[in-house]
């Protein structure tokens, strides 16, 4: 094969008169450049590691302190209060040094110690400042004098030009709430969902737990919070994600869409080339720590820990629990196309492949007409099915020989790319185009995504893209951050030629992509088929509906002097009640990344105030003034709960950790068992937009992403992801199951639309209501759309 010959760096022939060496200059040059690049990368990482390690100080500040101490030797002012003299007298081998040498050395040692002390003083001062969260509870648009002073102090102690991980050591630890506060908030959250008898029983369980068992569990949890950087995150990753034995496809993985209205090129290989190159640029910045840390209010830093495992990461199946394997410096990716797996090298001559070179490689794969090997077509279905059969098959059939080599290539790849063979994307002319697009991103054909990779990049024949993300290593905002960078770089920096190809010269001398080889016995093929059938059953049961709400957006909601998130959550409560005629336990995800290693917390959106508002909306006798007053009260309650969750005073993560401790200690708690078994029939999440502000969507309104979504959490419930896009658009991604006779994603989407318009009408004069009602979409109560 041509690529095999090109990979040979030298050849030798043994002759009677000696050995004849033949060196390939091109290969030797590539090896040399790769080595130079590797050392350069290590040097940059070391430099940035030092800069982040001493932040908010800088290495140059050490020199300033040393010069100040050295100067004191000549002006005869002892700034060390005698400490330099003590160091000088206790130096080892001082008899071998001159007086001047000892004085200089003692000044340097004292200056270094003082410098390190000042660094820790600055860090702990900043950590103390960041532990204050009073600012988040202030009314929007209003800032107290104390908060202004606090912001100034945070800016002053935050230093200049921070790197991605500069603030990690200064972030406060997630506090452990008191048991009394957590139980009080829990009982308050379930009051609107229980009748008097059920609520009284729950109060008794809570009271018994608080009096007899809580103190012991709480002490252990506080001890862990002192020892670990975060008392929740490691258990959350292990027990919520990695120990689950059910398929992660649909049940855990989530997806993110491409641009809604714009397709930069309709050439599949070219679009994939630009996007992959942009990802390599992002990965280089990430590995070097050169990305700017995210900061609330432009000042309060967020934890960046989750970003570390974005690339070169795979979830490895196990019999009892999975684990996340993260590698460094991976230089290839694996591409799936029509049942074949290809390995593509991402570097040549010590540099990334250019977009045009990547396009060439991907086009070669698209042009390849070879057939899949036996068992290869549906091999990835192992990652879509149940975890135990996959773990057993991995040990039995993929732990040695050619199968191990090929599997290692997939699991050690920077990420996984699927060149899909069916066009997808949002098309206003097609009724269900968004529904088809979301289902393709969520599960595809059940065998054309490697669901265990940190993310699978999906490229469609019409130039559209998307991402399927494994959930254990990070949450949606982390991947959203990367995806915003990729789309902006693709469209506004790299660009395309007039013919739609990647810019740059075409290099036809690159080694061709390499087919991964497999020897899959019939027994393993049976396991693959079983996994495929179980995954297909799950995928076929997903009822997904994507909906663009363009009647109004964040701009109009803000004019109503209310939070857009609270507005949408109350609309979801109203839609849920109209759809099911009952209220249910509602999950909204909130982030806790203002704390070290923080991930998420739950906001229980179905409050007593929200229930009162919904009942008023359904009460023909209530006036709009009464409804509006109840709405404002419910919105304020929701905002307060969201703030409590963000600042470490949530309910569910604390109870979850108390439950884990009880299992470790063998303590039986009916209260915790009951709490942890309650189903979330309405699970919601908001995907953040414009984290980087690389694109001015007011200037380029068509360059907006459709956001992302996830599968239904409960068999008889809904999953709703919503994205507030700019000022005038909100996208909804609604999931449920066809097998449930009580749910219908399309119907629920129509209820959301009507609820949004009904609430907005409360802020209008009474005579505008009739005109608003004309916009309502007729609801069809009956059989589901399929």
Report CA torsion sign: 619, 624, 626, 627: positive
Task: Give 736's strand partners.
Answer: 543
Name the DSSP letter for residue 447.
Answer: S
- Mapped onto helix, strand or coil, the DSSP state of residue 728 is coil
DSSP string, 373-418: PTTTTTGGGGGTS-HHHHHHHHHHHSSSHHHHHHHHHHHTSS-EEE
Q: What is the mean pLDDT of the chain?
A: 89
Report the distance separating Cα 761 and Cα 771, nearest Å.
Answer: 10
**What Rg, from alpha-carbon coordinates, does the chain have?**
30
For residue 31, what pLDDT is reported?
A: 61
Q: Which of 3, 217, 58 is nearest to 667 (CA)?
A: 217
Q: How many angstroms separate the Cα of 704 from the Cα of each of 565, 698, 724?
A: 19, 10, 10
Q: What six digits make up the tokens of 400?
A: 């040695």
Do residues 446 and 230 touch, judged by C-beta distance below 8 A? no
Do residues 359 and 272 touch, judged by C-beta distance below 8 A? yes
Which residues 6+ apart lie within 8 Å of 3 measured at CB?
Answer: 511, 512, 514
Report the distance separating Cα 288 and Cα 278, nearest Å.
Answer: 16
Report the distance separating Cα 642 and Cα 644, nearest Å.
Answer: 5
For residue 695, what pLDDT is reported?
A: 87
Beta strand residue intervals within 653-763, DSSP E? 682-686, 708-710, 718-725, 729-737
Q: How many CA atoms lie within 13 A of 214 on its CB side?
A: 19
For residue 641, what pLDDT is reported?
A: 96
pLDDT digits (tens, 9 = 90+) for 56-97: 888 888 888 888 887 877 777 777 777 887 877 787 877 777
For residue 85, what pLDDT is reported?
A: 78
Do residues 658 and 694 touch, judged by C-beta distance below 8 A? no
Buried b (16+ CB within 10 A) or exposed e, 35-56: eeeeeeeeeeeeebeebbebbb
Which residues 6+ apart lie within 8 Å of 147 measured at CB?
Answer: 134, 135, 138
For residue 29, what pLDDT is reported?
A: 64
Q: Edge to edge, what strands does the sheet with 682-686 contain?
A: 542-549, 729-737, 718-725, 682-686, 586-591, 600-604
Angle between helices 179-190 and 196-212 (to 10 degrees): 170
Annotated catalytic residues are: 471
For residue 76, what pLDDT is reported?
A: 74
**Three-state SS across 203-266?**
HHHHHHHHHHCHHHHHHHHHHHHHHCCCCCHHHHHHHHHHCCCCCCCCCCCEEEECECCCCCCC
Do residues 218 and 181 touch, judged by C-beta distance below 8 A? no
Name the DSSP letter for residue 784.
Answer: P
**Three-state SS across 648-669?**
CCCCHHHHHHHHHHHHHHCCCC
- Mapped onto helix, strand or coil, the DSSP state of residue 721 is strand
**Three-state SS across 11-23?**
EEEEECCEEEEEE
Model pTM? Answer: 0.89
Q: Which of 523, 509, 435 is nearest to 709 (CA)?
A: 435
Q: What six digits make up the tokens of 69?
A: 């101490």
The length of the chain in residues reads 786
Which residues 6+ apart lie within 8 Å of 622 measured at CB?
Answer: 616
Do residues 483 and 467 touch, judged by C-beta distance below 8 A? yes
Residue ranges in the chain modelled with pLDDT below 50: 1-10, 766-786
> Any long-range contacts for 431-438 (C-beta under 8 Å, 24+ apart)?
434/545, 434/546, 434/547, 434/548, 434/706, 435/544, 435/545, 435/546, 437/257, 437/464, 437/466, 437/546, 438/255, 438/257, 438/544, 438/546, 438/709, 438/733
Q: Which of 126, 58, 114, 51 is nearest to 87 (CA)?
A: 114
Do residues 416 and 383 touch, judged by C-beta distance below 8 A? no
Specify the residue for token string 């396009």: 359
């Amino acid at each position: 094969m041509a690529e095999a010959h090109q990979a040979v760096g030298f050849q030798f022939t043994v002759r009677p008169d000696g050995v004849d060496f033949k060196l390939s200059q091109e290969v030797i040059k590539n090896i040399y450049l790769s080595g130079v690049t590797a050392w350069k990368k290590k040097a940059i990482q070391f430099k940035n590691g030092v800069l982040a390690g001493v932040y908010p100080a800088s290495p140059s500040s050490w020199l300033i302190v040393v010069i100040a101490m050295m100067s004191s030797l000549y002006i005869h002012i002892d700034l060390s209060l005698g400490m330099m003299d003590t160091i000088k007298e206790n130096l080892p081998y001082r008899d071998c040094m001159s007086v001047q040498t000892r004085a200089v050395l003692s000044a340097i040692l004292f200056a270094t110690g003082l410098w390190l002390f000042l660094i820790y003083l600055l860090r702990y001062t900043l950590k103390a400042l960041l532990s204050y969260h009073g600012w988040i509870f202030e009314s929007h648009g209003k800032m107290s004098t104390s908060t202004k002073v606090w912001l100034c102090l945070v800016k002053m102690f935050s230093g200049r030009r921070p790197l991605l991980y500069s603030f990690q050591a200064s972030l406060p630890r997630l506090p452990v709430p008191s048991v009394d506060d957590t139980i009080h908030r829990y009982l308050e959250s379930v009051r609107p969902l229980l009748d008097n008898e059920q609520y009284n029983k729950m109060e008794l369980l809570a009271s018994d737990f608080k009096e007899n068992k809580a103190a012991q569990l709480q002490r252990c949890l506080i001890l862990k919070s002192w020892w670990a950087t975060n008392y929740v995150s490691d258990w959350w990753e292990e027990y919520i994600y990695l120990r689950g034995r059910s398929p992660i496809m649909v049940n855990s993985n989530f997806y993110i869409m491409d641009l809604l209205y714009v397709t930069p090129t309709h050439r599949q290989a070219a679009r994939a080339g630009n996007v992959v190159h942009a990802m390599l640029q992002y990965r280089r910045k990430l590995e070097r720590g050169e990305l700017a840390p995210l900061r609330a209010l432009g000042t309060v830093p967020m934890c960046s820990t989750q970003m570390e495992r974005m690339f070169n990461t795979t979830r490895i199946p196990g019999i009892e629990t999975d684990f996340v394997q993260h590698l460094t410096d991976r230089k290839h990716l694996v591409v799936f196309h029509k049942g074949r797996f290809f390995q593509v090298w991402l570097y040549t001559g010590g540099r990334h492949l250019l977009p045009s070179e990547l396009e060439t490689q991907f086009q070669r794969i698209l042009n390849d007409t070879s057939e899949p090997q036996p068992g290869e077509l549906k091999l990835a279905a192992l990652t879509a099915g149940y975890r135990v059969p996959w773990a057993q098959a991995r040990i039995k059939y993929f732990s040695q020989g050619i199968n191990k080599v090929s599997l290692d290539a997939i699991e050690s790849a920077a990420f996984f790319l699927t060149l899909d063979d069916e066009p997808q994307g949002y098309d206003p002319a097609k009724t269900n185009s968004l529904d088809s697009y979301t289902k393709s991103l969520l599960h595809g054909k059940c065998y054309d995504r490697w669901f265990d990779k940190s993310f699978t990049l999906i490229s469609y024949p019409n130039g559209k893209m998307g991402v399927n993300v494994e959930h254990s290593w990070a949450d949606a905002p982390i991947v959203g951050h990367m995806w915003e960078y990729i789309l902006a770089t693709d469209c506004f920096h790299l660009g395309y030629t007039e013919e739609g190809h990647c810019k740059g010269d075409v290099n036809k001398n690159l080694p061709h992509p390499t087919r991964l080889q497999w020897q899959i016995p019939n027994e393993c093929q049976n396991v693959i088929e079983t996994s495929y059938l179980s995954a297909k059953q799950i995928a076929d049961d997903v009822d997904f509906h994507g909906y663009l709400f363009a009647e109004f957006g964040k701009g109009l909601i803000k004019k109503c002097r209310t939070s857009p998130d609270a507005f949408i959550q109350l609309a979801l409560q109203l839609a849920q009640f109209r759809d099911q005629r009952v209220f249910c336990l509602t999950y909204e995800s909130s982030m806790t990344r203002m704390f070290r290693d923080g991930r998420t917390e739950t906001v229980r959106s179905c409050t007593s105030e929200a229930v009162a508002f919904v009942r008023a909306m359904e009460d023909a006798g209530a006036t709009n003034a009464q409804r509006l007053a109840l709405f404002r009260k419910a919105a304020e309650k929701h905002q307060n709960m969201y703030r409590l969750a963000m600042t470490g005073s949530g309910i569910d993560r604390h109870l979850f950790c108390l439950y884990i401790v009880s299992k470790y200690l063998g303590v039986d708690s009916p209260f915790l068992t009951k709490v942890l078994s309650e189903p979330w029939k309405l699970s919601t999440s908001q995907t953040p937009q414009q984290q980087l502000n690389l694109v001015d969507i007011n200037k380029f309104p068509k360059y907006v992403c459709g956001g992302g979504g996830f599968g239904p959490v409960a068999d008889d419930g809904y999953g709703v992801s919503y994205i507030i896009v700019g000022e005038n658009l909100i996208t909804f991604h609604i999931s449920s199951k066809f097998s449930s006779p009580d749910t219908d994603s399309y119907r629920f989407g129509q209820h959301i639309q009507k609820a949004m318009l009904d609430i907005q009408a409360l802020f209008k004069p009474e005579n505008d209501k009739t005109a608003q009602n004309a916009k309502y979409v007729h609801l069809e109560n009956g059989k589901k759309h399929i």
